[in-house]
Chains A and B, each alone.
Chain A
Amino acid sequence: MKTVYCRPKCMKEAHFHYCPGCGHGVITRLIAEVVDEMELRDKTICVAPAGCGMLLYNYFDIDTIESAHGRGAAVATGIKRVRPENLVFSYQGDGDLAAIGTAEGFHAANRGELISVIFVNNGVYGMTGGQMAPTTMLEQVTTTSPAGRDSVLQGHPVKICEVYATLDGTSYLERVAVNKPAAIIKTKKAIAKAFRHQQQKTGFSLVEILSPCPTNWKMSPLDSCRWVDDVMTKVFPLGLIKETKKC
């Protein structure tokens, strides 16, 4: 008998607190798999966000530090500058990186800090009950945009990857999704690539992951996976946005 798939070694036995069908669970697992495969369990430091991913330290059996809301990139900068031999990544949602932490993320990218950011984009503030986020799409209904997001009143969705691509400090930016098996495999490769960019000191790397949020989108898990393909990828096109050097 051959084991084809089992739990990654750098995950603890704790059960996830995420809602059924949430993309966070897949992303957490993929990071653990990449860390296992790169054999960096002892050298990796994770910076956990405020938001749905805040309990990451319960799931990862790697060193994890909790940052203040939105300050993940700033905390990761500090750790990386003090301990350049470690692999440092921050895990941030759209409320964390694109709203309250805009300055920290943007300027860490502009300085070309040698950190990786895993940016989970689900278009809403998940943990607080599905309010409108900067990444909410036009006409998307949330609890604070019940008639749908209106560009006149509430502005346009923020495309973090495209904004960061204009900065000289960034070396690797890719947008991926976790809504179907092929996309999940691509996401894992993108995370591994971001970590390799960090190891080779090419600059700031960020992977934006479109992740389903069935509870706050008020859909079934399967419908939310389809909605990522049908609606979200039209606004946030998948693919490699920027890579300065092949890694």
Chain B
Amino acid sequence: MASEAAAPETAAPDAQAAGAGTPSSTPIRAPRKPISLPRLPISLPRLPVSLPRLPVKKRTAVVPRTEAAVAPGTVDGSARENADPGIVLRVTDLVKRFGNTVAVDQVSLSVPAGTIFGIVGPNGAGKTTTLSMVTGLLRPDGGTVAVHGADVWSDPVVAKRNMGVLPDRLRLFDRLTGGQLLYYSGILRGLDAATVRARSHDLALAFGLEDALGRLVADYSAGMTKKIALASAMIHSPRLLVLDEPFESVDPVSAANVTEILQKYVAAGGTVVLSSHSMDLIQRICDLVAIVVSGRVLAAGTMEDVRGAGSLEERFVELAGGRKTAEGMEWLHSFSD
């Protein structure tokens, strides 16, 4: 339990304080109206591309308040169980070993509904391994994963239905055309044909893939492959999206589109867990963040708490072991002809 990500726990007291000043008593999963709410001074300093945003702590406020009314005195988090309706993803003491290496070492995370949760870490930190276990693609050696109260490994039917998955570096059925892949993903998820067709059309428009639906995915560029995989992950409108490196090799315009789609999804009560190397992007769009190094969660919580006074990148570099100063490279500054 050393590395418990205390996201909702730390959020809760502030949330109640902040919540007291809010006029609305919002139900748990009702879409919020971000524009009408007053912006508090602790809001994110850098606004995202398009959507007016809620201040972070206000957002998480919605859930604990309802919960406190049901079970007063449990806000410190220790007594909460998987049944907690506000927590969409709860990871407890997850462990994975490959031979003698411990790839994931007792990782615990709690992700409340309606947030974007970022996982950052250096190469080989265990991000992909963790997310694979969360999505039911890799069997853990220990620990539990619960999605919306359902355990991924003992009740996979319910848990997987609530999850949309974008894995990193796994193949797609790339001899299908983009349109066929979307349709395939939708039907496998149990949607009916008419719904899949309508949603495929919307997704293609949203991701700018209209012209590519008739081509084989094998012939797509890396960025387009990422986008069609992302669209396939969303087609069954899950409560939780688990996205491993969703912005890798995606061009800036598409990345902005994807960000906007994710932010609207979260504003409507959806939840996103994503990993990325881009600190800047994580800092800009995530409400909560966990820094994972060598399979352990070194810091977790709201973006403000984790990054403190500096930027997320500074905090990350500090936690990940600091930078090596480049000495002895002076020859690079005198050019050979």
Do A and B actually bind? Answer: no
* Partner-A contacts on B (CB < 8 A): none
